[in-house]
Amino acid sequence: MSEENWIEVGSTDSIEEEDLIRFDHQDKTFCVYKLTDGFYATDGICTHEAVHLEDGLVMDDEIECPMHQGIFNIKSGEALSPPACEDLKTYPVKVDNDKIFIKID
Amino acid sequence: MKNNIVILGGGQAGIYAAREIRQNDSKSNIKILGEENLLPYERPPLSKDFLLDKKKEEDLYFHSSDVLKNENIEFENISINKVDFENKKLFAKNDNVYSYDSLLISTGSENKKLTLDNNLKNDIYYLRNLEEAKKIKEIVSNKNKITIIGGGFIGLEIASSLSQLQKKVIVIEIGNQLMGRIIPKQIADLVQNTHIEHGNEIILNKQIEKITKKNGDYEILLNDNSLIETDFIIVGIGSTPTVKLFENTNLKLDNGIVTNQFCETSIKDVFAAGDVSNFYHPFYERNMRLESYQHAQNHGICAGKNIAGVKTEYTSIPWMWSDQFNLNLQLTGICDEYDEIIKRGNDINNGVIYFFLKNNKIRGACGVGIIGKVGRDIRITSKLTEKDTIVDKQILSDQNLKLNKLIQK
Ligand SMILES: Cc1cc2nc3c(=O)[nH]c(=O)nc-3n(C[C@H](O)[C@H](O)[C@H](O)COP(=O)(O)OP(=O)(O)OC[C@H]3O[C@@H](n4cnc5c(N)ncnc54)[C@H](O)[C@@H]3O)c2cc1C
Ligand code: FES
């Protein structure tokens, strides 16, 4: 695991609990979430249509797309409710000195 | 016990019911009878991404034939034209007979037809199924000036798609606003402005008097004597539940098949779900009929549970959406029973929502905004409605205050 793959997203207090922030890196968009047990990251665009999940609703471990209510599990990326049927990609997250990093492949 | 379960109508409610029955009952035979020669598919993209070529036919199916095979759900392409509820039998045109122990009717709805005195039936197009969508897509590719009769959701979505395909589009609506039956006028006007900004012409308060064919094109005469020249006509003037088959039977009909909160009809062992059913909603304490994706799915699932013997009340708060241009419109609950209206937001770029309250509780809400801007708040609204919460009106009306605050407690 090379160090360069970890990208700094921001400080841990930049996200409220049970909420998310959008993070753009190069030409990709990610969502970084703060859940009760830690930080998680997924692709930032819904797999159903090209809609940003940053405007979606975080409830427990799930993110619900603001467009057609497709639901994904934030931790596994699994598509839980139609019309979303393709899983969402997830990324490893670590916290170092109150800073959040995600590992982008 | 092994039962014969037959699902009449292979659409969205039918497929969700079938899979839910299988989840709860591994033994019974489950057979879907569908008159379209296609596995169940999603209709919403037909007026949107399918016309725009962003989605192909293969993207529309809910499930592959493998999923049905694995779950031992049979799909037969057949049209049923007679039912005998007394002897629990269905009859097809080709003399096939199907016996059932439990029957789910999920025959959906069909487009209302424009009544014309001359013989232009074959010149006028409607959109309900994939075959019609394919035909429209093929023919419009070499048409330029398209008229849509009816300013409801489907007509406006087609108008949005065809405008994006660089067509000149005119929408003629008989009422004094677009999407009149269920959408507040304030929201309808915002959507109308967007159509006009994109070059679509919207004509309200006008009725069609006559359509004449001229050199392969058409002239539409309106009731104010104005004439519209057009080279293609699509009609979207609403739909009616598909119940013709049951008209001379004991099945209780009233704007669809009347069902209780368990999807049960007036006849034992006969259930109905989706667009075709006029169901009792225990939360709103009244019957309603909905034509929406979320309802077809959840009602199908609820019917599936009840058919499999897992008694389940249908309590889902209604929700639907429409996508036109870069706008996403969403509606939750019911917006026709209220003593107070509260508005949130002023700018379509950030989303505008109208909440309909009764006794300080939300009964429904309707919002529109640039894609992504109203979904979260509408979703929270559904939850607040379901929980019958007395809401803080200050938070509802101030877009700077997050609605999440209202449900976290
Ligand atoms: C163009 C279009 C766009 C839409 N867009 C949206 C949207 O953006 N958002 C939203 O929330 N909803 C939308 N909807 C509504 C949504 O798709 C419907 O509410 C949903 O499909 C209803 O599901 P259903 O199973 O009740 O009926 P259907 O999906 O219509 O299925 C009924 C099936 O039964 C078959 N059938 C009928 N009679 C017989 C018979 N005698 N024998 C055999 N088979 C029979 C029919 O052919 C049909 O295949 C749209 C609908 C259309 C048509
Ligand atoms: S775009 Fe996310 S569910 Fe449709």
* Any ligand 2 atom below 6 A from CB of A16: no
Determine the pLDDT at residue A21: 95
Contact list in B for residue A69 (CB cut-off 8 A) is 294, 319, 375, 379
pTM for this structure? 0.95
How far, in Å, from the CA of A64 to the mean position of ligand 2? Answer: 9
pLDDT at residue A3 tops 70 = no
How far, in Å, from the CA of B109 to the mean position of ligand 1? Answer: 6
Average pLDDT over residues B120-146: 96
* Any ligand 2 atom below 6 A from CB of A51: yes
* Any ligand 2 atom below 6 A from CB of A70: yes
Q: By mean pLDDT, which of B41-50, B90-99, B178-187 is the weakest?
A: B178-187
pLDDT tens digits, residue range B237-278? 999 999 999 999 999 999 999 999 999 999 999 999 999 999
If 0-12 CB within 10 Å is exposed, 13-18 middle and 19+ buried, where does residue B114 land?
Answer: middle
pLDDT at residue A4 tops 70 = no
Q: Which of B321, B374, B404 has the CB atom closest to A68's CB atom?
A: B321
Interface subset of B 275-334, CB within 8 angstroms of A:
293-294, 297, 319, 321, 323, 328
Cβ of B376 and A56 within 8 Å? yes
The more confidently predicted of residues B402 and B200 is B200
With cut-offs at 50, 70 and 90, classify the pLDDT of residue B83. very high
Q: What are phi and psi of B284, to 5 degrees?
A: -85, -5
**Alpha helix (H) ranges present in B239-365?**
293-307
pLDDT at residue A2 tops 60 = no
Cβ of B293 and A52 within 8 Å? no
Determine the pLDDT at residue A83: 83
pLDDT at residue B373 tops 60 = yes
Which residues are within 8 A (CB) of B172 and not within 5 positions of it... i.e. 6 or more apart? B147, B148, B149, B150, B151, B203, B206, B208, B220, B222, B228
Average pLDDT over residues B383-390: 92
pLDDT at residue B102 tops 70 = yes
Q: How far apart are CA B8 and CA B17, in angstroms?
A: 11
SS (H, E, C) A26-69: CCEEEEEEEECCEEEEEECECCCCCCEHHHCEEECCEEECCCCC
Question: In order of start, what are the domains of chain B with their CATH numbers?
Answer: 4-43+62-109+240-307 (3.50.50.60), 113-237 (3.50.50.60), 326-408 (3.30.390.30)
Determine the pLDDT at residue B1: 66
Determine the pLDDT at residue A105: 80
Q: How many CB atoms lie within 10 A of CB B386?
A: 15
Share of chain B above pLDDT 70, in %: 99
Q: Are B149 and B235 in contact (CB under 8 A)?
A: yes
How far, in Å, from the CA of B356 to the mean position of ligand 1? Answer: 28
List beta partners, residue B320.
B331
Q: Quick check: A55 contacting B, CB < 8 Å? A: yes
How far, in Å, from the CA of A80 to the mean position of ligand 2? Answer: 12
Among B43, B129, B329, the mutation site with the greatest number of ligand 1 atoms within 8 A of its Cβ is B43
Which residues are within 8 A (CB) of B236 and not within 5 positions of it... i.e. 6 or more apart? B111, B126, B127, B148, B149, B150, B152, B154, B155, B158
CA angle B235, B324, B114 (to 5 degrees): 10
How far, in Å, from the CA of A49 to the mean position of ligand 2? Answer: 5
Average pLDDT over residues A15-40: 94
Contact list in A for residue B49 (CB cut-off 8 A) is 49
Q: Which of B293, B371, B380 has the CB atom closest to A51's CB atom?
A: B371
List beta partners, residue A87.
none
Determine the pLDDT at residue B406: 84
Query: Which CA distances in Å does B321 have to A70, B157, B224, B316, B382?
Result: 13, 11, 34, 15, 13
pLDDT tens digits, residue range B151-169? 999 999 999 999 999 999 9
Ligand 2 atom closest to the CA of A49, numbered from 1? 1
Average pLDDT, chain B: 95
List beta partners, residue A63.
A58, A72
pLDDT at residue B341 tops 80 = yes
Among A31, A42, A51, A57, the mutation site with the greatest number of ligand 2 atoms within 8 A of its Cβ is A51
Determine the pLDDT at residue B116: 80
Cβ of B372 and A52 within 8 Å? yes
Determine the pLDDT at residue B193: 97
Q: Which two tokens stand for residue B337?
A: 């029973």
Determine the pLDDT at residue A81: 87
The more confidently predicted of residues A1 and B317 is B317
The more confidently predicted of residues B336 and B298 is B298
Among B49, B275, B366, the mutation site with the greatest number of ligand 1 atoms within 8 A of its Cβ is B275
Average pLDDT over residues A1-23: 86
pLDDT at residue A49 tops 90 = no
Q: What is the DSSP letter of B100?
A: -
Interface subset of A 12-31, CB within 8 angstroms of B:
18-19
pLDDT at residue A33 tops 60 = yes
Closest Cα in chain A, distance from residue B209 (Å):
39
Determine the pLDDT at residue B292: 96
Q: Which two tokens stand for residue B41?
A: 């598919």
The more confidently predicted of residues B182 and B359 is B359
With cut-offs at 50, 70 and 90, classify the pLDDT of residue B408. low
| A3-103 to CATH, choices 3.40.605.10, 3.30.70.3270, 2.102.10.10, 2.10.10.90 | 2.102.10.10
Determine the pLDDT at residue B205: 97
- Taking CA–CA distances from A60, the nearest residue in chain B reads B408
Query: Which CA distances in Å does B217 have to B149, B159, B173, B225?
Result: 16, 19, 21, 19
pLDDT tens digits, residue range B186-219? 999 999 999 999 999 999 999 999 999 998 899 9
Determine the pLDDT at residue B178: 97
Determine the pLDDT at residue B182: 79
Cβ of B373 and A65 within 8 Å? no
pLDDT at residue B409 tops 60 = no
